[in-house]
Chains A and B, each alone.
Chain A
């Protein structure tokens, strides 16, 4: 087993703290009623970053073969791309 494949306690605690801060940012933006293309882009970027941390660091795919990293990161990219296309389509209604 590669050393520190699952990270170090200090590193994962730091990531956890930033994930919680990012969650408060999303909640705050929702409570303030932030909307519009840029607001949604920021919300999507925060969610994407949080997902990437879970995939690469918590699921330890940073140390996995490239294929599995590409499949999981590809999933989150495609999902957010589809949500973005639908959002833009909704603006044109």
Chain B
């Protein structure tokens, strides 16, 4: 269901499918509850959270922030290219977003491997329960986002997106930006603030 029609061409318009925005709101609410639960659990265990947070790989967290922001920027450029009727460029920008998205996955898996080597699990502490469940919940969203980006890349290569026919591209782009948006709170909250 497109969120807009020709009648709204010059007025306020929601980019993409209306359904994806209800989905995004539901996802944001779930992550919001998760973030608040982490923050209030931390308030009761300041010393434990500070000690275990200090052992996290902050460099990996920062690198992943840069990778997700870069992927988001590439997606914006892909949408702009489609608006300019440049399908080839649109596909190239989406290809860049896919590569940087996979970069996030590689960094995150490396981080998890290091954690498991130190016998860190969901049951090792309250902090680790939050760290693993929050980041893994987000990780699964990145995987879904990558599947969507690959589908859009394929569509762009076939010249599917052009002015007036941008709904699929804008819908996928909105989902990917939501994944980025959530990480922009997760990174300072879990890796930095103590």
Chain A interface residues (CB < 8 Å from chain B): 1-2, 4-9, 12-13, 16, 19-20, 23-24, 26-27, 29-31, 35, 40, 43-44, 46-47, 50-51, 54-55, 57-61, 63-66, 68, 71-72, 75-76, 78-80, 82-83, 86-87, 89-90, 93
The reply to whether B43 and A12 form a contact with Cβ atoms under 8 Å apart is: no
The reply to whether A68 and B21 form a contact with Cβ atoms under 8 Å apart is: yes
Cα distance A61–B164 in the bound complex, in angstroms: 18
> When A20-B66, A20-B69, A44-B188 are in contact, do A58 and B177 touch as well, CB less than 8 Å?
yes
Cα distance A87–B36 in the bound complex, in angstroms: 10
- Whether a CB of chain A sits under 8 angstroms from the CB of B180 is yes
CB distance from A91 to the nearest CB of B (A): 9
Who on chain A is nearest to B56 by CB?
A30
Residue-by-residue, is B154-186 near A (CB-CB < 8 Å gives 1, otherwise 0)? 000000000110100010011001101100110
With a CB–CB cut-off of 8 A, which chain B residues contact A43?
188, 192-193
The reply to whether B62 and A27 form a contact with Cβ atoms under 8 Å apart is: yes
CB distance from B39 to the nearest CB of A (A): 4
- Whether a CB of chain A sits under 8 angstroms from the CB of B118 is no
* Neighbour of A29 across the interface among B24, B43, B73, B192, CB < 8 A: B192
Residue-by-residue, is B1-40 near A (CB-CB < 8 Å gives 1, otherwise 0)? 0000000011111110000010011001100100110011
Cα distance A93–B49 in the bound complex, in angstroms: 14
CB distance from A7 to the nearest CB of B (A): 7
- Whether a CB of chain A sits under 8 angstroms from the CB of B131 is no
With a CB–CB cut-off of 8 A, which chain A residues contact B62?
23-24, 26-27, 30
With a CB–CB cut-off of 8 A, which chain A residues contact B25?
71-72, 75
CB distance from B2 to the nearest CB of A (A): 11
The reply to whether A6 and B83 form a contact with Cβ atoms under 8 Å apart is: yes
The reply to whether B163 and A1 form a contact with Cβ atoms under 8 Å apart is: yes
With a CB–CB cut-off of 8 A, which chain B residues contact A29?
192
Greatest chain B CB density within 10 A among A23, A55, A59, A82 is at A59
- Whether a CB of chain A sits under 8 angstroms from the CB of B114 is no
With a CB–CB cut-off of 8 A, which chain A residues contact B184?
47, 50-51, 54
With a CB–CB cut-off of 8 A, which chain B residues contact A16?
69-70, 73, 76
> When A20-B69, A26-B192, A54-B72 are in contact, do A1 and B9 touch as well, CB less than 8 Å?
yes
Cα distance A83–B36 in the bound complex, in angstroms: 6
CB distance from B27 to the nearest CB of A (A): 10
Show 10 residue pairs from A and B whose CB-CB distance is below 8 angstroms, ordered by the A residue.
A4-B83, A20-B69, A23-B66, A24-B62, A31-B58, A51-B184, A72-B28, A75-B32, A83-B35, A93-B46
Cα distance A43–B10 in the bound complex, in angstroms: 37
> When A19-B69, A58-B180 are in contact, do A51 and B185 touch as well, CB less than 8 Å?
yes
